[in-house]
Amino acid sequence: MQVQGLKNISLFQDAIQKELQKFSEKELPSSPEKLYGSIKYALTLGGKRTRPLAVLLGCDLFGGAVTNAMPAAITVELFHNFTLVHDDIMDAAPLRRNAATVHKKWNTNVAILGGDAMLVKAYQLLNTLNVKNKSEIIDVFNSVALKVCEGQQMDMDYETMNEVTIADYLLMIELKTAVLLAGSFKIGALIAGANSADADKMYEFGKQVGITFQLKDDILDVYGETNKFGKQKGGDIISNKKTFLLLKALELSKQNAVINRELHKWVNAIDFNEEEKVNAVVGIYNTLEVKKMAEEEMIKQYNRALEALNSIGADEEKKKQLSLFSNSLMNREV
């Protein structure tokens, strides 16, 4: 049964890849070269195509034909890539998935405008959906898109805020990361004609899976294998990114003056050896066992996701497929 589930997922993934390829060839003309070239480039950088897969899985769960959902699947992938291109400018990130970011390969202006055009293309594609409730689906997409912007603003605000709580952090990742996955599942369900209660449950499921996904991201940045992940190992530590791990460590270290001083020393350090900082902070994380706590939080969110999924009245085999999918996100190594 597990193999069955994963096999379906892999079929969907192949279909998404082909559709993205087709989109790139047919919908992105050669001129103006920088505008469309930067979009093509951003799309070839790959990634797991998790969000379009969520659209197809959401549609499939309610017996919809996944081909009907394909324009929406590509829409959410375009939207996701638009956010990556703009976020990479804001974070001054030189690399994404081991390749130069758009603003590094071209320049900031190309990345701003290429991102803008990618967002417009996303809307253009979404409007090709051939379903009666298209207007409702566009509403869901808009609401999600706006929340993602809010989450990104909060993420930037947190950089200079002194006191960020775990609750603040969970709200931020909900908006910045989780609602797009939530919306993807919901849109898929709506395309298949799911009723509004079930569509909302799919949203809830996706939201919890999305939070789990981001917590895993935080863990992998510190404890993952560098090459697989395609980012600098410990990059979050070097840049003092307020992840679950750091916030938890800051919270717990209040009980231990020595560790507290040591942690603040590294957070406030201006001139430092990067490897030394990463090793020292990982040492503190290990002492305080924050990885374990992040994993516990992840499992809590994951169980909530399963609860939402189980409350949906749909084919049990297909539900199994969704739980396999969410499980694979939580247990991924990259």
- Which residues make up the interface to its own copies (CB under 8 A)? 32, 34-35, 86, 89-90, 108-110, 112-113, 115-117, 119-121, 123-124, 127, 134-135, 138-139, 142-143, 145-146, 149-150, 152-154, 156-157
Q: How far apart are CA 174 and CA 297, in angstroms?
A: 14
Strand partners, 95: 100
User: Is 108 or 331 the residue whose CB approaches its own copies more closely?
Assistant: 108
| Helix 316-330, helix 290-310: angle, nearest 10 | 170
Backbone angles phi, psi at 149, to 5 degrees: -60, -45
User: Is 113 or 259 the residue whose CB approaches its own copies more closely?
Assistant: 113
Taking the complex as a whole, the smallest distance from the CB of residue 175 to its own copies amounts, in Å, to 9
User: Is 142 or 273 the residue whose CB approaches its own copies more closely?
Assistant: 142
- Return the closest-CA partner of residue 49 out of 20, 8, 27: 20
User: Is 34 or 105 the residue whose CB approaches its own copies more closely?
Assistant: 34
Taking the complex as a whole, the smallest distance from the CB of residue 216 to its own copies amounts, in Å, to 25
Taking the complex as a whole, the smallest distance from the CB of residue 82 to its own copies amounts, in Å, to 8
User: Is 121 or 201 the residue whose CB approaches its own copies more closely?
Assistant: 121
User: Is 143 or 165 the residue whose CB approaches its own copies more closely?
Assistant: 143
Taking the complex as a whole, the smallest distance from the CB of residue 15 to its own copies amounts, in Å, to 25
Geometric angle at alpha carbon 280, from 277 and 283, rounded to 5°? 145
- Return the closest-CA partner of residue 149 out of 168, 169, 172, 166: 172
Taking the complex as a whole, the smallest distance from the CB of residue 271 to its own copies amounts, in Å, to 25
User: Is 124 or 273 the residue whose CB approaches its own copies more closely?
Assistant: 124
User: Is 171 or 259 the residue whose CB approaches its own copies more closely?
Assistant: 171
Taking the complex as a whole, the smallest distance from the CB of residue 112 to its own copies amounts, in Å, to 6
User: Is 86 or 233 the residue whose CB approaches its own copies more closely?
Assistant: 86
Taking the complex as a whole, the smallest distance from the CB of residue 24 to its own copies amounts, in Å, to 16
Taking the complex as a whole, the smallest distance from the CB of residue 90 to its own copies amounts, in Å, to 4
Q: In this structure, are residues 211 and 170 in contact, taking their beta carbons and an 8 Å threshold?
A: yes
Q: How far apart are CA 249 and CA 255, in angstroms?
A: 10
Q: In this structure, are residues 269 and 277 in contact, taking their beta carbons and an 8 Å threshold?
A: yes
Q: How far apart are CA 275 and CA 282, in angstroms?
A: 10
Taking the complex as a whole, the smallest distance from the CB of residue 149 to its own copies amounts, in Å, to 4
